């Protein structure tokens, strides 16, 4: 499995360097005060979604999965490798993004306290994990090309839903208030939802790969 992750990192080296340029450019904009620091959180989502998708696209193009199934790693190894790689991408993006934002906050480039920046990034990382949990089974079943449509629909539903919610709030319509117990435990509940969703997604993807033919 570590071999598969190593392969993903090496095969995507060029793309990773391009994404690093994004970080530098957007970081520069943040320091210059052109963009808000929350853009770094958005980059975590961009990285966490595009990198695993690109890795599946490259595997498809090379028919790599067919080869790996014939090795001792087998079908379950491919799925485990891809999920672990996705987790790793999100974790590294979160850590790097947070370190960058907190450093700039401590240096006085933003008034936002470091803790709030961390919470912003953590929310972005959790949302990315949930989105990946939805997308990865489709990616592994249909391949990157065919799963692209499903990804678009998912994004439209989520972001469209978000915009709709904001419009409702802007119009002064009251949103149903959460019970006290739920309000207090919401972060824990969301955390469980994300972790449970990712675990469920992994189980579904294993089932998909078990039935797949090459």
Partner 1 sequence: MNNALEVSHLTKDYGAFRLEDVSFTVPGGTIMGLIGENGAGKSTTIKCILNLLHRDGGTISVFGMDNLAEEQAVKAQMGVVLDESSFHEGLTPLQLGKTLSRLYPHWDDRYYQDYLIKFQLPGKKTIKTFSRGMKMKLAIAAAFAARPRLLLLDEATSGLDPVVRDEILDEFLNFIQDEHHAILISSHITSDLEKAADYITYLHQGRVAITGAKDELLETYGKLVCGKADLEKVDKSLLKGCRVGQFGCEALVKNRHAFLRRYPDLTVDPVTLEDIMVLTGKGDAQ
Residues at the interface with partner 1 (CB under 8 A): 1-4, 6-7, 10-11, 13-14, 58-59, 61-64, 66-75, 77, 211, 213-214
Query: Closest distance between partner 1 and the C-beta of residue 85, in Å?
Result: 13
3-state DSSP assignment of residue 151: helix
Query: Closest distance between partner 1 and the C-beta of residue 180, in Å?
Result: 51
Rounded CA gap, 178 and 175, in Å? 9
Burial (CB count <10 Å: 0-12, 13-18, 19+), residue 107: exposed
Query: Closest distance between partner 1 and the C-beta of residue 51, in Å?
Result: 15
Query: Closest distance between partner 1 and the C-beta of residue 3, in Å?
Result: 3
Closer Cβ to partner 1, 5 or 118, answer by number: 5
**And the tokens for 67?**
């080869």
DSSP character at residue 109? S
Q: Closest by alpha carbon to 40, among 105, 84, 88?
A: 105
Closer Cβ to partner 1, 62 or 106, answer by number: 62
Closer Cβ to partner 1, 41 or 52, answer by number: 52
């Amino acid at each position: 499995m570590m071999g598969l992750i190593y392969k993903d990192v090496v095969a995507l080296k060029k793309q990773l360097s391009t994404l690093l340029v994004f970080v530098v450019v957007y970081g520069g904009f943040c320091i210059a005060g052109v963009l808000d620091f929350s853009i770094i959180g958005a980059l975590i989502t961009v990285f966490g979604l595009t990198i695993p998708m690109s890795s599946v696209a490259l595997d498809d193009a090379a028919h790599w999965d067919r080869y790996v199934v014939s090795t001792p790693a087998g079908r379950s190894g491919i799925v485990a490798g891809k999920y672990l790689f996705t987790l790793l991408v999100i974790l590294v993006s979160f850590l790097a993004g947070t370190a960058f934002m907190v450093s700039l906050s401590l240096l006085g480039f933003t008034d936002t306290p470091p803790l709030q920046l961390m919470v912003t990034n953590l929310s972005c990382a959790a949302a990315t994990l949930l989105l990946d949990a939805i997308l990865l089974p489709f990616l592994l079943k249909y391949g990157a090309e065919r799963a692209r449509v499903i990804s678009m629909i998912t994004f439209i539903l989520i972001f469209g839903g978000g915009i709709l919610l904001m419009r409702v709030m802007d119009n002064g319509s009251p949103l149903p208030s959460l019970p006290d117990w739920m309000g207090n435990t919401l972060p824990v509940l969301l955390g469980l939802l994300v972790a449970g969703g990712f675990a469920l997604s992994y189980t579904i993807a294993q089932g998909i790969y078990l039935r797949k033919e090459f």
